[in-house]
Structure 1
Amino acid sequence: MQAHPLISVVIPVYRAENMLDELYRRLCAALETVSPQFEIVLVEDCGPDRSWDVIERLAAADPRVVGLQFSRNFGQHYGITAGLDHCRGDWVVVMDCDLQDAPEEIPRLYHKAQEGFDVVLALRGQRQDPLLKRATSWLYYRLFSYLADIEIDGDSGNFRIMSRTVVRNFTRMREQLRFFGGHVQWMGFPTTGIEVQHAQRMEGTSSYTFAKLWKLAMDTIIAYSDKPLRMAARLGLTMATGALLFGTYLLLRSWFQGSPIPGWSSLIVSLYFLGGLIIGILGILGVYLGKAFDETKKRPLYIVRRATPNTSVDPDCALPGGH
């Protein structure tokens, strides 16, 4: 095993076969300006290409490259979790593999952290993403911040540097629903941000479809907030109060003016509306109950199928009580 690294770079990898060599070259050039003692942790999320073969080749040529491969596709945030479980650096950088996060910005993040911050976010001043993706991302972060009562900067992604203290505490959180940025923000360590260059993807398109983004949004909101339940309760109470007041009005009207025959249309519309509202609220309760059921299973967060020889894999690190 190589000497204890000053900086570890954790990168979840998915469909990046043609980008990894360039990513490795640029990372080495950038990290060498800070310290020759670094490691690059590449977590391959069982993609459909030959990314793992490239990782094995890089690790064989350079012991500072550490590779893990999942047994199946677990997802980006689980890849980050696995990388943080196995990295050893005093400072840890998390970034994406598509080279939209520029490795050349890592020295700036590191030097900013030396001013007394445990977390330094890379803020994308001018995002090089399609308009629709920027709009949906902004909407998601606004909605998440409102429902979870955790303020997340929509200009920041996963790209950031963190101290070993932050990483150590992150690895203690083993809930099934993973949201890297929310976990780090929730801990509350001294945080700042610097504006960095955000580049176009080197090739291909994002693997996040609208359906995947929607599922991620719902899962993270449910994981961090019970506000939808409280909003449903308030809605029910408001409607009950409105129905009571309207019922009182009808009763008083019947006493003083007589009671006309009510229309069937309004009655049927009201029944369908209330029925749909009740079913919707029960659905919200069911989703929360299902997620609680998932947590009680205590399954590992991920399963490592293969690792490069220079990796020490603890089989218990992914368990709820591990690390």
Structure 2
Amino acid sequence: MIDGINEPPAPVLDVSVVVPVYGCRNCLEDLVDRVGRVLQAASRSYEIVLVDDNSPDQSWTRINELSDRHEAVRGLRLSRNFGQHAAITAGLAHSRGETVVVMDCDLQDVPEEIPTLLAAMTGDVEVVLGQRVDRQDSWAKRTGSMLFYRALGWLTDTRYDHTTANFGAYSRKVVDALNGMDESDRFLPLLVRWTGFNTAKVPVSHGLRTEGKSGYSLGKLLQMAGRIALSFSDKPLRLVMTAALMIALMAAAIAVFSVYRYSSGDIRVAGFTSIIASIWLVGSIVMACIGVLGLYLGKVHGEVKRRPRYLVWQDTWK
């Protein structure tokens, strides 16, 4: 099934919980039980949408078992690994709740904090983000996350709070806006920020990771920051222009120095000064500009193909 478009209207629920699943097969039963308990205690009708991003640990088998045992559980299986944010996009497109909670599958996003998020959605607040005030991650993971958000903020001229991530509650108005965004490169926090809807932050507890390990190394995080910057910002182009100007100034200084050497008799080869100045000035600027323009052209090429953002292979709801 090729997906990326909302399905026909279905019965509206109070809350949908969207969970991208990758590498946490043994956490899923505990996750479903805990989410169910807290939402039943809050007297909320709900569904749990588990999106298997082609996890290598046979997560789909466990999702099928949970779907058979729990009417509220719906499983989606993507045809290949499209990435965490594409999996979240699939879950949002298939969600039926008036409010949608997005959380990770590894139980570091604590299910018992869901009522805290929902309680903060009052008045004109459309988005509530969980602030991990006491992160239960290693020093390396916390440092990598902080560097990622700082690099992303610098590349996109936006301030980011590294204590927040995807864990949050989003109104149906926000989810519909996100579903209407067709770009293939997905990064939930930036897309939500772009909508401009009122956002609140609430402190939440952060759990220990009991299974698997994060797929985001520092190198991958910084690489992702660069990819997101190319998709959401023109700052790399402006940086190239700045760098080109600096190189031009350097080339001018070298040219002046070459003229000085020529006038003092150190250079006796005719045309040396003009050749050096031309090579430094024109070559460096052109190569830098072509490189960055090529990156943006590649992004445009990817967008104009209009391929689906994900493919749903199997769906336990049908």
State if a TM-score over 0.5 links the two structures. Answer: yes
1:148 and 1:285 map into 2 onto residues whose CA distance is 17
Alignment CA distance shift 1:246-1:72 (3 Å): closer
1:151 and 1:186 map into 2 onto residues whose CA distance is 13
Alignment CA distance shift 1:20-1:138 (3 Å): same
1:273 and 1:137 map into 2 onto residues whose CA distance is 38
Preserved contact between residue 3 and residue 37 of structure 1 (Cα < 8 Å)? no
* Structure 2, unpaired ranges of 5+: 1-8
Alignment CA distance shift 1:210-1:154 (3 Å): closer
Is structure 2 residue 137 aligned with structure 1 residue 122?
no
Preserved contact between residue 155 and residue 226 of structure 2 (Cα < 8 Å)? no
**What is the Cα-based RMSD across aligned positions, in Å?**
2.7
Larger mean Cα displacement after TM superposition, 41-50 or 128-137: 128-137
Structure-1 residue corresponding to 2:21 = 13
Preserved contact between residue 23 and residue 212 of structure 2 (Cα < 8 Å)? no
Structure-2 residue corresponding to 1:289 = 297
Report the secondary structure of 1:176's partner residue: coil
Question: Of 213, 235, 244, which aligns to 2:243?
Answer: 235
Is structure 2 residue 180 aligned with structure 1 residue 172?
yes
1:148 and 1:13 map into 2 onto residues whose CA distance is 28
Is structure 2 residue 38 aligned with structure 1 residue 25?
no
Is structure 2 residue 15 aligned with structure 1 residue 42?
no
Alpha-carbon offset, residue 50 of structure 1? 2.0
Counterpart residue type for residue 220 of structure 1: I
Counterpart residue type for residue 234 of structure 1: T
2:49 and 2:14 map into 1 onto residues whose CA distance is 13
Larger mean Cα displacement after TM superposition, 81-90 or 240-249: 240-249
Structure-1 residue corresponding to 2:140 = 132
Report the secondary structure of 1:9's partner residue: strand
Alignment CA distance shift 1:98-1:272 (3 Å): farther
Alignment TM-score, normalising by the size of structure 2: 0.87
Structure-2 residue corresponding to 1:261 = 267
Report the secondary structure of 1:6's partner residue: strand
Alignment CA distance shift 1:273-1:159 (3 Å): farther
In the TM superposition, what whole-angstrom CA distance separates every residue of 1:33-90 from its partner, at most 9, and x where no partner exists?
3234111111001111221111112112222111100011111000000000010111
Structure-2 residue corresponding to 1:190 = 198
Matches within 5 A, 1:31-70: 31-70=39-78
2:79 and 2:250 map into 1 onto residues whose CA distance is 54
Alpha-carbon offset, residue 179 of structure 1? 0.6
2:38 and 2:193 map into 1 onto residues whose CA distance is 27
Question: Of 209, 212, 217, which aligns to 1:204?
Answer: 212
Alignment TM-score, normalising by the size of structure 1: 0.86
Counterpart residue type for residue 124 of structure 1: R
1:109 and 1:10 map into 2 onto residues whose CA distance is 14
Residues paired across the two proteins, number: 305
Is structure 2 residue 82 aligned with structure 1 residue 74?
yes
Preserved contact between residue 2 and residue 63 of structure 1 (Cα < 8 Å)? no
